[in-house]
């Protein structure tokens, strides 16, 4: 796996198996690459520290802020981060996307798509830590992935149908690895292109400045077309080189002195390029 970290945004109904998936993902990934640190950010742990008794909706804003803060810190620390949350509104997923963008980290949405009826059954087996009506309400409010281009899951996983979760996760890791590699290659190509464009601009501006500074002192103006032609030739011959600004200036001056050998030219022009 590449060393670069990323954010996994889990989304799904309560009792759909998100935490099961998150811990299995963490275990497999850390076995594949012992150099990575995988952090699972679970807002339920934040709630346990805030609530002394039952659920308190008035404190959910605090939970949300602390959850996002924990995600941001873990990404900045270089961890691979899993958001083990419902993330059932696109606005919630957008907040996570923006955090990933600010720390220059890829993100991948995984929809745990276990059907609501199965979620209710699993919730009952757990002793109904969440009222079944809440599960149904969230199902009705769930924002699916048909509005924004960025809001598309790389996988939709119904855990009630998965017989080999480990194989499924390993396949997802391959997809993520390939995507990161492709993104890295595209970034390198863009950076190289940008670097070449900047070099071309420097080449143009420095040679133009040298010519403009010196032709105004020429006694024989008939040399000007020749100088302009030589400048274009110099740029063409050096487009694929990599020189510092100082090297461009020095090499261009030498090039002009070498090409313009006429004695009558030397007296009026060459001395300007010796400095």
- Listing DSSP states for the chain in one string gives --S---EEEEEE-TTSSHHHHHHHHHHHHHHH-TT--EEEE-HHHHHHHH-SSS--GGGHHHHHHHHHHHHHHHHHTT-EEEE-S---SHHHHHHHHHHHHHTT--EEEEEE---HHHHHHHHHHTT-SS-HHHHHHHHHH---SSS-TT---SEEE-TTT-S-HHHHHHHHHHHHHHHHHHHHHHHHHHHHHHHHHHHHHHHHHHHHHHHHHHHTT-S-GGGHHHHHHHHHHHHHHHTT----HHHHHHHHHHHHHHH---HHHHTTTGGGG--
167, part of any domain: no
Give residue-wise pLDDT tens across range 104-121.
Answer: 899 999 999 999 999 999
206/126 same-domain check = no
Which pLDDT score is estimated for 154?
Answer: 95
| Euclidean distance between CA atoms 62 and 85, whole angstroms | 15
Higher pLDDT, 218 or 121: 121
86/146 same-domain check = yes
Which pLDDT score is estimated for 190?
Answer: 79
199/153 same-domain check = no
201/74 same-domain check = no
| Mean pLDDT of the region 202-215 | 89
Q: Does residue 264 surpass a pLDDT of 80?
A: no
Which pLDDT score is estimated for 195?
Answer: 85
Give residue-wise pLDDT tens across range 10-25.
Answer: 999 999 999 999 999 9
Model's pTM, two decimal places?
Answer: 0.71
179, part of any domain: no
Which pLDDT score is estimated for 127?
Answer: 83
148, part of any domain: yes
Confidence bin at 263 (pLDDT 50/70/90): very low
23/134 same-domain check = yes
24/141 same-domain check = yes
Q: Of 162, 180, 210, at which residue does a domain stop?
A: 162
> Range of 208's domain?
193-273
| Mean pLDDT of the region 263-268 | 48
Give residue-wise pLDDT tens across range 223-256.
Answer: 788 888 999 999 999 998 889 999 999 999 899 8
Q: Of 123, 145, 162, at which residue does a domain stop?
A: 162
Closest C-alpha among 5, 79, 83 to residue 38:
79
If you average pLDDT over every residue of the chain, what do you get? 87
Higher pLDDT, 55 or 126: 126
177, part of any domain: no
Which pLDDT score is estimated for 2?
Answer: 45
130, part of any domain: yes
132/13 same-domain check = yes
208/83 same-domain check = no
Domain count, the chain: 2
């Amino acid at each position: 796996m590449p060393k670069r970290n990323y954010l996994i945004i889990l989304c799904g109904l309560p009792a759909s198996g998100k935490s099961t998936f998150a811990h299995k993902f963490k275990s497999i990934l850390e076995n594949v690459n012992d150099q990575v640190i995988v952090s699972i950010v679970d807002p339920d742990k934040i709630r346990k520290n805030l609530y002394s008794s039952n659920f308190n909706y008035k404190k959910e804003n605090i939970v949300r802020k602390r959850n996002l803060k924990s995600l941001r810190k873990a990404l900045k620390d270089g961890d691979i981060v899993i958001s083990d949350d419902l993330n059932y509104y696109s606005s919630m997923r957008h907040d996570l996307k923006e955090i990933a963008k600010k720390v220059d980290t890829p993100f991948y949405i995984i929809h745990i798509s276990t059907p609501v009826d199965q979620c209710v059954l699993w919730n009952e087996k757990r002793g109904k830590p969440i009222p079944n009506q809440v599960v149904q309400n969230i199902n009705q409010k769930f924002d699916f992935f048909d509005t924004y281009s960025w809001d598309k899951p790389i996988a939709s996983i119904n855990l009630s149908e998965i017989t080999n979760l480990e194989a499924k996760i390993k396949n997802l890791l391959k997809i993520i690895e390939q995507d990161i590699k492709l993104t890295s290659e595209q970034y390198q190509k863009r950076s190289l292109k940008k670097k070449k464009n900047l070099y071309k601009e420097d080449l143009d501006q420095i040679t133009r400045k040298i010519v403009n500074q010196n032709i105004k002192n020429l006694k024989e103006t008939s040399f000007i077309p020749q100088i302009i032609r030589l400048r274009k030739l110099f740029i063409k011959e050096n487009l694929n080189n990599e020189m510092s600004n100082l090297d461009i200036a020095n090499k261009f001056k030498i090039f002009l002195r070498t090409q313009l050998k006429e004695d009558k030219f030397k007296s009026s022009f060459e001395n300007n390029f010796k400095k």
